[in-house]
């Protein structure tokens, strides 16, 4: 027996206990439930917003499809020049509106209505975005300007199309052919041969090349440039005698 008895720990004495964080005492499931209670309103609001955006997009796409169908029906129904003109004016910003202007321009060009063709081709180039159709409208515009008496502008645009390496080969070849044809009409054998040579580089087997060569053959061969002396001088070693000297 010890002389000094140990002091008994009083019942209910919590001085040696460590405090525990209430969050560490709960399970993962309890944490998720707490998180859901705090954020469920925001989550529902976000889901609702996403749903509204999806519904709005689907509605917009549906309306666009319906509008395109209506435009297509109107284009098919435009069977007369007057109806086609009305359709083109109403759908100036639509691809089919651009095609309508291209058709009208072609008809005007064939009918030798040059000024009208120029205006319609210009409208077509503003609307069309498909590369082949746009290039077709640009070529038509250049030819219509030549027909309208704006030869300098038309020739410049034809040369630009023919020289553009990034342009469609068929458009380049046709542009060079028309340049050859215009040179032949002007009886300019030098330019005609130049454009035939260009066509050979673009596409030697093209129908436009063959036609251009036939046109070029109707002109005489261009004479070689003659060098003219800048100043006549007496031949070396020859003495000229002046009368009376």
Q: What are the sequence ranges of the domains in the chain?
A: 38-77, 79-149, 151-220
Quote the CA–CA distance of 182 and 40 in Å, as a whole number.
78
Question: What's residue 233's pLDDT?
Answer: 46
Confidence of residue 245 (pLDDT cuts 50, 70, 90): very low
**What is the model's pLDDT at position 31?**
72
Give the predicted TM-score (pTM) of the model: 0.64
Cβ pair 215, 192 in contact under 8 A: yes
Task: Say whether pLDDT at 60 is over 50.
Answer: no
70-107 confidence digits (pLDDT tens): 888 888 888 899 999 999 999 888 999 999 999 999 99
**Cα(88)–Cα(95) distance, integer angstroms:** 10
CB 162 within 8 A of CB 198: yes
C-beta separation of 128 from 95 below 8 A:
yes
Which CATH topology does 79-149 take? 1.25.40
Q: Please determine, for residue 244, whether its predicted confidence score (pLDDT) is greater than 50.
A: no
Cα separation, 131 vs 174, in Å, equals 16
Q: What is the mean pLDDT of residues 22-26?
A: 55
pLDDT at 211: 95
């Amino acid at each position: 027996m010890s002389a000094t008895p140990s002091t008994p720990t009083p019942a209910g004495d919590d001085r040696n206990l460590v405090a525990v964080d209430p969050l560490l005492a709960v399970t993962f499931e309890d944490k998720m439930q707490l998180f859901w209670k705090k954020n469920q309103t925001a989550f529902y609001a976000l889901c609702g917003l996403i749903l509204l955006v999806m519904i709005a997009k689907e509605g917009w796409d549906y309306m666009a499809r319906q509008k395109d169908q209506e435009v297509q029906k109107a284009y098919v129904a435009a069977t007369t020049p007057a109806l086609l003109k009305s359709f083109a004016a109403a759908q100036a910003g639509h691809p089919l509106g651009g095609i309508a202007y291209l058709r009208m321009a072609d008809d005007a060009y064939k009918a030798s209505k040059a000024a009208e063709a120029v205006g319609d081709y210009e409208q077509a180039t503003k609307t069309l975005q498909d590369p082949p159709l746009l290039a077709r409208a640009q070529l038509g515009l250049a030819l219509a300007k030549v027909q309208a008496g704006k030869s300098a502008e038309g020739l410049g645009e034809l040369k630009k199309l023919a020289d553009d390496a990034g342009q469609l080969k068929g458009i380049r070849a046709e542009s060079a052919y028309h340049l050859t044809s215009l040179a032949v009409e002007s009886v300019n054998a030098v330019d005609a041969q130049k454009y035939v040579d260009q066509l050979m580089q673009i596409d030697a087997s093209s129908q436009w090349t063959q036609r251009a060569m036939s046109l070029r053959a109707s002109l005489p061969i261009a004479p070689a440039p003659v060098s003219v002396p800048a100043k006549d001088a007496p031949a070396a070693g020859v003495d000229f005698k002046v009368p009376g000297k």
